[in-house]
């Protein structure tokens, strides 16, 4: 087996250090059981017996029921502690996604095993050949991320900031014409939120086109990916009970004249895309939102806990429904599990981090801001009082060890004789 793997991978690029998938782990476990004996009184391994039984089943085109009956008879002849499988499909994987996946690979029902093996060979060959594909070619090694907000729904030709945010529309829900009031509110909002309008005298070419207005017939969508979030409209989520997350909550922050931040919380009722019909292809996505009351009657904060609650029964009275998708962040609302009448109208706000990003803790950010700041450290003074250490007796008791001084009388006599001879 080891030599076969060496020969197989000799002319291939080095294997990347990655976590194997579930199917690969199951294959490795099966290979590891090749030397596992069926029971103590035989030389047949579990893998060899199963392979021979599968060969017989495929040769005589036996059904699964026939195979299980024969396997039951074999079990009656073996010791109770034998490690031979009890049936064709173990109970652990019966009805699981693994079996459902294998069924899709069967093309010839007369030769089920051969069809599965052939399909796996084609899949593995394609995955191996994908190592030699170009980097932009779609393959198993460069899958599209879950929230693919970097894929543009259209290829615009304008360089205004509001048209350069990477995003993608999904789940089209038809075309609807805005009312005259909705049209004017959305149009005024777009013009007042363009940085290019600040330098009004240096008018951008696209501003001329925008000033004529957009087409009142807009497209509606159910989902929208932007800034690492996947937003969904309330209408889209209400018709799909299988969804496991609620992605219709939004939050936007505005500033007053004194630079005080004010947060607005709401729900996306619908997602619309408006278009300008002229020489330049301009498209912009807006969220049609219903906003909760941001006043103290509808919003309360517990600063020491970092808790934000909104009253979902109170809504903002102003007809300010539209918001650019690139300006909002995602939140979801949690209701209290108790049936207290005072808490039932209140929802707790939870801010969602963008996909692939870890939110920074406030304590960590404060620690980072404190770098380079030198603070005075408190140091306690010494203890009061004095004391004297007398070492006179200790020095008298010290005996020099390992000294070069000659003290032996015989050595002294020899040295004296040597000095006389030298003279």
Judge whether residue 291 has pLDDT over 90: yes
Cα dihedral 169→172→178→182 (10° resolution):
-40
Contacts of 298 (CB under 8 A, 6+ apart): 292, 310, 311, 314
Q: What does the chain come to in residues?
A: 423
Task: Note the pLDDT of residue 372.
Answer: 45
Task: Note the pLDDT of residue 373.
Answer: 45
The distance of Cα 299 from the centroid of its chain, to the nearest Å, equals 31
Query: CA of 2: how far to CAs of 12, 29, 127, in Å?
Result: 16, 15, 21
Instruction: Please count the other Cβ atoms lying within 10 Å of the Cβ belonging to residue 250.
Output: 23
Task: Note the pLDDT of residue 371.
Answer: 47
**Token code pair at residue 34:** 């090749």
Q: Distance (Å, rounded) from C-alpha 386 to C-alpha 416?
A: 54
Give 261-270 pLDDT, tens digit per residue.
889 999 999 9
Q: Distance (Å, rounded) from C-alpha 351 to C-alpha 304?
A: 17
Contacts of 275 (CB under 8 A, 6+ apart): 214, 215, 218, 219, 281, 282, 283
Give 36-95 pLDDT, tens digit per residue.
888 888 888 877 888 888 888 888 888 878 888 888 888 888 888 888 877 766 654 445
Per-residue confidence at 387, pLDDT binned at 50, 70, 90?
low
**Token code pair at residue 61:** 């085109």
User: Quick one: what percent of the chain has pLDDT higher than 90?
Assistant: 18
Contacts of 375 (CB under 8 A, 6+ apart): none
**CA-wise closest residue to 156 among 259, 261, 255, 281:** 281
Q: Distance (Å, rounded) from C-alpha 239 to C-alpha 221?
A: 14
Give 95-104 pLDDT, tens digit per residue.
555 667 777 8
Q: For the chain, first and last CA: distance in Å?
A: 91
User: Which DSSP symbol is given to 162?
Assistant: G
Query: CA of 278: how far to CAs of 157, 187, 210, 211, 220, in Å?
Result: 12, 17, 9, 12, 21
**Token code pair at residue 271:** 């997602």
Residues 202-217 as b/e (b if ≥16 CB within 10 A, e otherwise) read: eeeebeebbeeebeee
Query: CA of 252: how far to CAs of 40, 56, 147, 406, in Å?
Result: 70, 67, 21, 93
Annotated domain spans of the chain: 2-132, 161-363
The upper half-sphere exposure of residue 176, i.e. CA atoms within 13 Å in the direction of its Cβ, equals: 15
Task: Note the pLDDT of residue 346.
Answer: 93
User: Cβ distance 47 to 34 under 8 Å?
Assistant: yes
Handedness of CA 71, 75, 77, 81 (dihedral sign): positive
**CA-wise closest residue to 349 among 388, 312, 304:** 312
β strands within 184-319, DSSP E: 217-226, 229-232, 249-255, 261-276, 282-291, 299-302, 307-311
Task: Note the pLDDT of residue 364.
Answer: 47
β strands within 66-213, DSSP E: 167-177
Task: Specify the 3-state DSSP secondary structure of 54.
Answer: helix
Q: Return the bridge partners of 231, or none.
A: 224
Judge whether residue 398 has pLDDT over 70: no
> Rounded to the nearest 5 degrees, what angle is found at the Cα of 268, between the Cα atoms of 313 and 170?
155
Q: Which residue has the tokens 């086109």?
A: 209
Task: Note the pLDDT of residue 112.
Answer: 77
Judge whether residue 279 has pLDDT over 70: yes
Per-residue confidence at 361, pLDDT binned at 50, 70, 90?
low
């Amino acid at each position: 087996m080891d030599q076969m793997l060496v020969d197989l991978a000799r002319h291939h690029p080095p294997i990347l250090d990655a976590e194997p998938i579930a199917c690969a782990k199951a294959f490795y476990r099966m290979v590891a059981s090749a030397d596992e004996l069926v029971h103590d009184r035989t030389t047949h391994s579990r893998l060899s017996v199963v392979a021979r039984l599968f060969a017989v089943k495929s040769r005589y085109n036996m059904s699964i029921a026939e195979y299980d009956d024969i396997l039951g008879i074999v079990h009656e002849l073996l010791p109770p502690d034998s490690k031979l499988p009890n049936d064709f499909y173990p109970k652990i994987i019966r009805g699981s996604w693994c079996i459902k996946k294998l069924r899709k690979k069967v093309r010839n029902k007369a030769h089920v095993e051969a069809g599965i093996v052939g399909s796996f060979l084609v899949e593995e060959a394609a995955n191996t050949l994908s190592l030699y594909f170009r980097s932009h070619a779609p393959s198993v090694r460069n899958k599209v991320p879950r929230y693919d907000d970097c894929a543009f729904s259209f290829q615009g030709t304008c360089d205004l900031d509001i048209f350069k945010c990477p995003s993608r529309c999904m789940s089209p829900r038809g075309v609807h014409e805005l009312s005259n009031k909705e049209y004017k509110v959305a149009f005024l909002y777009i013009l007042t939120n363009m940085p290019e309008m600040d330098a009004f005298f240096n008018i951008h070419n696209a501003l001329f086109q925008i000033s004529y207005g957009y087409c009142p017939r807009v497209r509606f969508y159910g989902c929208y990916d932007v800034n690492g979030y996947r937003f969904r409209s309330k209408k889209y989520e209400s018709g799909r009970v299988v969804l496991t997350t609620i992605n219709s909550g939004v939050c936007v922050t505005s500033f007053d004249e004194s630079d005080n931040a004010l947060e607005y919380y709401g729900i996306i009722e619908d997602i619309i895309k408006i278009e300008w019909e002229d020489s330049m292809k301009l498209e912009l996505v807006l969220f049609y939102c219903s906003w909760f009351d941001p006043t103290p009657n509808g919003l309360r904060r517990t600063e020491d806990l970092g808790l934000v609650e909104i009253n979902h029964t109170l809504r903002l009275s102003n007809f300010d429904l539209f918001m650019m998708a690139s300006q909002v962040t995602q939140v979801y609302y949690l209701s209290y599990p108790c049936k207290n009448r005072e808490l039932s109208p209140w929802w707790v706000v939870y801010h969602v981090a963008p996909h692939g990003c870890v939110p920074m803790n406030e304590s960590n950010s404060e620690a980072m801001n404190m770098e380079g700041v030198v603070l005075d450290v408190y140091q306690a003074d010494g203890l009061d009082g004095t004391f004297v250490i007398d070492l006179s007796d200790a020095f008298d008791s010290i005996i020099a060890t390992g000294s070069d001084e000659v003290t032996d009388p015989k050595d002294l006599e020899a040295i004296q004789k040597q000095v006389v001879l030298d003279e």
